Structure 1
């Protein structure tokens, strides 16, 4: 029988443990990859409006904004024989898996049934995500969290690639098979995590640990960030919101930009984006190393500069070949940003508040994911399609300025750790 891998507060960073935990995030990416690729065509057959299909496909972000922060804070105050975070994963992902199995059949029952299954599946995934990410913080000493988050992001990229490469062949056999595959992953991975991960009761300290009573809710964490004397946390959340506006907006509108400005098909636009996404995945682990060695804030600021520079170079370009050559520069930059930002947010709170502060991260990022596409799309309507990359660079510049004033979020010093 396989022995569970546990962690203590003073334990050194373990790649093996982090890769095992990363299977949880990999499974999340498999599910979303299948969901985002194969569900819209099903809805397109049931409704006549592309706008309505787009609105339906934002259900995941809306539910995530409502549910993920609450579940994260709730898991901070949970302890069962299964652990602190895993109970939520073991309930949420299997629920999503069962409903994924039923999605193809629900489509034959009509729009109402399909919507019901879609909402239920999204609730299950929203319940699971924050506890999986918070578990990384529980298992990893503060100074190694950038490296750990790099591994987690790499595994997420692997999950997305699995969905991309297996989804189409499975669909060619049977349109329901991609959903069945995602369902099996969602049903099995939580039990795999239960077998190989043992949650610690004692948590690794952060720079904010002071012996005071923990904040119980995301609202409490947000109040502490907004009304605290040091505004670094507030500036950091606004920076996160700003850079996700740039990323989410440009990603969602790139296929439209490709058609109207570059004269390429949506399929060619998707292939072009792989040059960015592939680099983000490949550079995830090195981005964690860099954040660990030079500091998270410096790594993020360098990443914002590179990502913004990419957009400025892309703005006048109309040759797809040249665009594909430039995109990896932004991929390196974006990897530096996303890998090191969550560890900075976690450092704002105590070790016992990882779920609540992970929730604040998702409040900022999910709000931007919801607002980014319509905001940039509306500005394109007014200013012209060609301004997409310039607008993205502008929001990244705002984020860079905000980050220059952030003074908290680096790893807790090893010397400050209590003896065990």
Structure 2
């Protein structure tokens, strides 16, 4: 598990980057654009290219072989580029330069995101993956808390400070992962996974497709909520920009506290059960958020919501990995991020358009409806993961 904690620094950098991006970039766009729908669109236009890059790079990393390993070359290229363009975002001089920096940053993130996450199943036996995913998401949640708490404070002092800090953390995380994880030494069945090519017709069973659909719908809910929440807090609840962003830290707080326990519970009682519990609980929380009349009530519900989000998110990635062969970890990681990127593209502009038509009060109703669609898809997924038995038998040989 020591390697998993160290790998968590990679996920830490990804999480803190996205949290700050979603929390503060809308304010930069708001200086130029009046339409919430257009802001939502511009928050995701860069993901169109990443939508195609992530599954391609994930699959390509399955078959990459260098002296640095399969996944590491993508980290060594992508992370420094992401650090550079992330630092440049607050120094934009026009809407055009802002969009250019946003696109370049997201393309850089797409280069290393799938390979970074695919390292987890590479170095972790299947029975331990929900716990391992809990650990790396614990690190990611710490990044989100740092982004919305310390980031809010720094943003209040100077809008560039949190972006410069995250750029430095990107580089520090890369150094930690590079110095401590050696793929040829730490990866399980290294020669086996490099020999396989992803067969989409064979690997994409009905179970996998329903699971991908569920992932899509719950990310529609979460991505839209996170991208537009800060504007919701300012316009609907009358909060300051920093107080609105800080409120999201409460959602991340219980996500962090629940990450490892949810991984253990998923290993003991089943990934699907924990995901279904999380979807139902988060749907109820989103519905209740429509009757928020105080900051205390808002942050209390966000605390509860973070716990249910952990039930979903901690168990989802190990679930999608377990439905396929050992030679498909990178490709399945890419598919996981393909559907989440697709949700990121669709959700903010669609929810933004609904807000333009009906007002900010529609935000959490729409999020709840999307969660119900995810629940319908999850109920079609079988309880037992398709590749689990064979994988455990292989590990025992």
Q: Distance in 1 between matches of 2:292 and 2:29?
A: 35
Return the match for 1:86 from 72, 85, 91.
Answer: 72
CA distance in 2, matches of 1:389, 1:113: 32
Counterpart-to-counterpart distance in 2, 1:164 and 1:260: 19
Deviation at 1:244, TM superposition (A): 1.3
Contact 2:45 2:345 in 1 (8 A): no
Corresponding position of 1:371: 346
1:4 aligns with none
Structure 1 residue 118: deviation in Å? 3.5
Q: Kindly state the Cα deviation for residue 353 of structure 1 after the two structures are TM-superposed.
A: 1.1
Query: Could you say which structure has the larger radius of gyration?
Result: 1
Aligned to 2:162: 178
What aligned pairs does 1:68-83 form with structure 2 within 5 A after superposition?
A: 68-83=54-69
Equivalent residue for 2:196?
A: 214
The root-mean-square deviation of aligned C-alpha atoms, in Å, is 3.2
Question: How many angstroms does 1:402 deviate by?
Answer: 1.7
Mark the CA change 1:225 to 1:393 in structure 2 (over 3 Å): closer, same or farther. farther
Preserved CA contact (<8 Å) 2:266 2:315: yes
Aligned to 1:187: 171
Distance 1:397 1:131, change over 3 A: same
SS in 1 for 2:107: helix
Aligned to 1:409: 385
| CA distance in structure 1 between the partners assigned to 2:335 and 2:157 by the alignment | 42
Pairing 1:144–2:133 present: no
TM-score, scaled to structure 2: 0.86
Equivalent residues of 2:262, 2:310 under 8 A apart: yes
Q: What runs of 5+ residues in structure 1 fail to find an aligned partner?
A: 1-13
Aligned to 2:143: 159
Of stretches 310-319 and 243-252 in structure 1, the one that deviates more from structure 2 is: 310-319
Superposed, 1:254-293 pairs within 5 Å as 254-258=229-233, 262=237, 264-293=239-268
Cα distance between partner residues in 2 of 1:44 and 1:258: 14
The question of whether the paired residues in 2 share the 8 Å contact of 1:204 and 1:351 is answered with no
Q: Structure 1 residues 95 and 271, CA, compared in 2 at 3 Å: closer, same or farther?
A: closer
Partner-residue secondary structure (3-state), 2:164: helix
Using the TM superposition, name which of 232-241 and 410-419 deviates more: 410-419
2:85 is aligned to 99
Higher alpha-carbon deviation: 95-104 or 124-133 = 95-104
How far did 1:399 drift? 1.6
Q: In 1, are the aligned partners of 2:210 and 2:381 still within 8 Å (CA)?
A: yes
* Structure 1 residue 140 displacement after superposition: 0.7
CA deviation string 1:211-269 (max 9, x = no partner): 9x7334xxx53x4455x4xx111111111111112222233344454456555555444
2:43 to 41, 57, 63: 57
Quickly say closer, same or farther: Cα 1:151–1:316, change in 2 above 3 A. same
User: Structure 2 CA distance, aligned partners of 1:321 and 1:403?
Assistant: 33
Q: TM-score, normalised by structure 1?
A: 0.81
Partner of 2:115: 131
Whether contact under 8 Å (1:138, 1:200) holds in the other structure is: no
Equivalent pair of 2:153/2:242 in contact (CA under 8 Å): no
Query: Quick check: 1:346–1:409 contact (8 Å CA) kept in 2?
Result: no
The 3 A distance-change label for structure 1 pair 83 and 280 is same
User: Retained in 2: the 8 A contact 1:97–1:186?
Assistant: yes
Q: Given the alignment of the two structures, is residue 238 of structure 1 paired with residue 213 of structure 2, yes or no?
A: yes
Cα deviation for residue 386 of structure 1 reads: 3.7
Cα deviation for residue 286 of structure 1 reads 0.8
Where does the alignment leave 5 or more consecutive residues of structure 2 unmatched?
Answer: none
- For 2:370 and 2:101, locate their aligned partners in 1 and report how far apart those are by CA, in whole Å: 36
